[in-house]
Amino acid sequence: MGTFETITADVDSHVGTITINRPDKRNALSTTVLAEVRQVLEEWRDDADVQAVIFTGAGEKAFVAGADISQLEHYDLAYGLAGTMQRLFNLIEEFPKPTLAAINGVAMGGGLELAMSCDIRIAAENAKVGLPETTLGVLPGAGGTQRLSRLVGKGRAVEMILTSRVLSATEALDYGLVTEVHPQDGLLAGAQATVKKILGKGPLATQLAKLVITNGAETDQRTGLLLERLAQTLLYTTDDKAEGAAAFLAKRPPNFQGK
């Protein structure tokens, strides 16, 4: 993979890490950042060597401070309807491989929306998260109004968005917006440990579990249970299911092949 202007993209031990690399701009999301992240994800989608993706920001101050406000004055009706950022975050949410946001500092606006599109969010102790768009006369338009309410509940989401409330890492943990808080110097190790746990499970099972959870949350329980049953039925036919059962009975680690 070539070099990029605004991000770095590395793969180690089957884990891809995308780092937003604009520390002088607090890693703000410019149109170039969005295009480069999309390019990497499209390459990694079908790359068997990449089995999970971690997102983080360069430096210790910001994960992603938000959209690049210097570009806001150029946003217009056509830009809004194009929904470039929203569509990228939809791609992340629907990505077939597990995704994790390692929030290493401030995550505001589009930064929090990026993190919320990931499957799992963990934070450094100095992290601060919020959706302050109403202070600029706009609203969280890259999934914030929808994903926040689904993660923390409608009441808390309304209060956070209308007041532009910023949460500390411990408050975000209490809200259920993140699942772990680590010291700054242990954040990436914590992210890698979580991903390693996931990669030790059946890859088909984790992929289908993600699909059922994501899509089941958007429908009624009866339909969600049907999705669950059909996914489980598919897994019953796989070599991985047979290997998982055999390994459990033999009291040995499973050797899943994704088949």
Residue 69 has pLDDT above 70, yes or no: no
User: In this structure, are residues 142 and 86 in contact, taking their beta carbons and an 8 Å threshold?
Assistant: yes
pLDDT digits (tens, 9 = 90+) for 4-60: 999 999 999 999 999 999 999 999 999 999 999 999 999 999 999 999 999 999 998
Classify strands 128-130 and 166-168 as parallel, antiparallel or unpaired. Answer: antiparallel
pLDDT value for 50: 95
Q: Fold match between 7-199 and 203-250? A: no
Cα dihedral sign, 25-41-118-186: negative
User: In this structure, are residues 54 and 192 in contact, taking their beta carbons and an 8 Å threshold?
Assistant: yes
Instruction: Copy the structure tokens of residue 250.
Output: 């033999």
177/116 Cα distance (integer angstroms): 8
Residue 74: pLDDT band (50, 70, 90) is: low
User: In this structure, are residues 151 and 143 in contact, taking their beta carbons and an 8 Å threshold?
Assistant: no
Residue 68 has pLDDT above 90, yes or no: no
Pick the CATH number of 7-199 from 2.60.40.10, 3.40.1280.10, 1.10.1060.10, 3.90.226.10: 3.90.226.10
Residue 70: pLDDT band (50, 70, 90) is: low
Average pLDDT over residues 169-173: 98
Residue 96 has pLDDT above 90, yes or no: yes
Average pLDDT over residues 72-79: 66
216/190 Cα distance (integer angstroms): 28
CATH architecture of 203-250: Orthogonal Bundle (1.10)
Query: Domain boundaries in the chain?
Result: 7-199, 203-250
User: In this structure, are residues 231 and 247 in contact, taking their beta carbons and an 8 Å threshold?
Assistant: no
Residue 78 has pLDDT above 70, yes or no: no
28-42, 62-76, 145-159, 177-191: lowest mean pLDDT where? Answer: 62-76
Residue 137: pLDDT band (50, 70, 90) is: confident
Q: Which of helix, strand or coil describes residue 96?
A: coil
Average pLDDT over residues 240-254: 92
Q: How high does pLDDT run on average in the chain?
A: 92
pLDDT value for 202: 93
Question: How many residues in the chain?
Answer: 259
Residues of the chain above pLDDT 90, percent: 85
Instruction: Copy the structure tokens of residue 180.
Output: 């772990």
User: In this structure, are residues 206 and 198 in contact, taking their beta carbons and an 8 Å threshold?
Assistant: yes
pLDDT value for 208: 95
The residues that are catalytic are: 113, 133
Residue 258 has pLDDT above 90, yes or no: no
Classify strands 106-108 and 128-130 as parallel, antiparallel or unpaired. Answer: parallel
